[in-house]
Amino acid sequence: MMNIERFYRAVSAEDALNVYQNTEGAAVLGGCCYLRMGAKNITAGIDLSALGLDRITVSGGSTELGAMVSLRDLETDENILKNFGGLFRDACADIVGVQLRNCATIGGTVAGRYPFSDILTAMSVLDVTILFASGASMSLADYMDSKKPAKDIITKIIIKNNVKKAVFNSVRNSHGDYAVLNCACAVKDGKYSLAVGARPQKAVRVTKAEEFLNNCAITAETAEEAGKICSGALDFQDNIRGKAEYRKAVCVPLVKRAVMGAAYAG
């Protein structure tokens, strides 16, 4: 059974970092949606909700998300919709329900690096920088790759507003379930970026398919070809939601649709 010995409401990012780095067994509290399921003993649960990190702002060609921005805000915020189209709205749509999305945070989602995450697959096709309490920053790709991130606290997520169109889609056994496979495609500065996640391993960009798309006209055939490239290039595995061979098969139409959606309106 999960236990928190001390609840600590940080007064500043520095304060939070100080407690985090100097208390053995401390943990930063995100949306706490998975907390109950764990069995961890947390000596100090560090709460960031007093730090004003629940805002979405636009400045200098980027959108800034505080770590405590809820997934519900990510889903409905007008600036997000304006700058990234339906990408995040669609990536949020099957995450349980409004009540859970009002709790879950973007900072918690990124910090969790969940391989099944719809949000992380969507973010993987954007230019994302993560800011930490120490002042350090890192690209999302590096963060997802780094085996052991430094003991730091995510405070902000900054996304470049260079997206012409971005699309998220997924296949799942039922609504509100985790994806059997998810996929996102974006057109940024005239170039395609493409990511596939929940394989069930974490989302990855498929550069071979991106290169292919960047060098051809997008038609139903080339979009499908991109799907085949992904299907052939990626490693898929079994879990209770689906077998590797199904994921491999369904990768093709999923990518095809994402590419067609990103290339053409409607």
Partner 1 sequence: MLVNITVNGQKRELTADPGEFLSETLRKAGYLSVKQGCDTGSCGLCTVWVDEKPVLSCAYLTARADGRSITTIEGVQKEAEAFAAFMADEGAEQCGYCLSGFVMTVLAMEKELKDPTDEEIQHYMAGCLCRCTGYMSQTRAVKKYLESKK
Partner 2 sequence: MKYIGKKIHKSDGNALVKGLPVYTDDLGINNNTLIIKILRNPHPNAVIKSIDVSEALAMDGVECALTYKDVPDVYFTLAGQSYPEPSAYDRRVLDRHVRYVGDEVAIVAAVDEKTALKALKKIHVEYDVLEPVLDLDTALDNKALVHPVQPHTNFDIGCDASRNIASTTYTEQGNVDEVLKSCDAVSGLRCRTQAQAHAMMETYRASVAIDYNGRLVVTSSTQIPFHVRRHLSRILGIPKSMIKIIKPRLGGGFGGKQTATAELFPALVTHITKKPSKIIYTRHETFSCSTSRHAMMLDVRLGADRNGRIKAIDIHSFSDTGAYGEHAPTVFYVVGHKTLPLYHSEACRYYGHALYTNKMPAGALRGYGATQGTFAQESAMNQLSDMLGIDPCELRLMNLLDEGDVHHELDGSIPGNPAVLKSSALKKCIETGKKMIGWDEKYPRVVIDDRYVKGYGMAVTMQGSGIAKIDTATAFIKLNDGGFFTLIHSASDMGQGSDTVLLQMAAEVLEVDIKNIIVTSDDIDTVPYDPGAYASSGTYVTGNAVIAAAEDMKRQITETAARMLHTDAESIEYGGDVIRSKDGSSISLREIGEKLCGFTGKDQLIAKGTYGGDTSPPPFVAGFAEVTVDTETGRCAVTDFCAVADCGTVINENLARVQLEGGIAQGIGMALYEDVIYSSTGRMATDTFMTYKIPCRKDFNCIRTAFESSYEPTGPFGAKSLGEVVINTPAPAIAHAVYNAVGVRVTELPITPEKVLMGMLKKDG
Token pair of 173 as six digits:
């056994």
Residue (96 or 233) nearer to partner 2, CB? 96
102 binds, among partner 2, partner 1, none (CB under 5 to 8 A by kind): partner 1
Q: How far is CA 89 from CA 42, 111, 118, 134, 154, in A?
A: 33, 20, 11, 31, 22
Round to whole Å and give the CA distance between 195 and 223.
Answer: 14
Question: Which residues of this protein are in contact with partner 1, per CB under 8 A?
Answer: 2-7, 9, 29, 31-37, 42, 45, 47, 49, 72, 93, 96-100, 102-103, 175-176
Shortest spacing between CB 104 and partner 1, in angstroms: 8
Partner in contact with 180, chosen from partner 1, partner 2, none, beta carbon below 5 to 8 Å by kind: partner 2
Of 34, 165, 170, the closest CA to residue 94 belongs to 170
Task: Supply the minimum distance, in Å, between the C-beta of residue 29 and partner 1.
Answer: 7
Contacts for 237 with CB less than 8 Å, ≥ 6 apart: 199, 200, 201, 244, 247
Minimum CB distance to partner 2 smaller for 68 or for 167 = 167
Residues that bind partner 2 (CB under 8 A): 1, 171, 173-178, 180, 240, 242-243, 245-246, 249-250, 253-254, 257
Q: What whole-number distance in Å separates Cα of residue 222 and Cα of residue 208?
A: 13
Select from partner 2, partner 1, none the partner in contact with residue 56, using the beta carbon and a kind-dependent cut-off of 5 to 8 Å: none
Among partner 1, partner 2, none, residue 12 binds (CB under 5-8 Å by kind): none
| Structure tokens given for 26 | 């401390």
Q: Please give the single-letter amino acid code of residue 166.
A: A
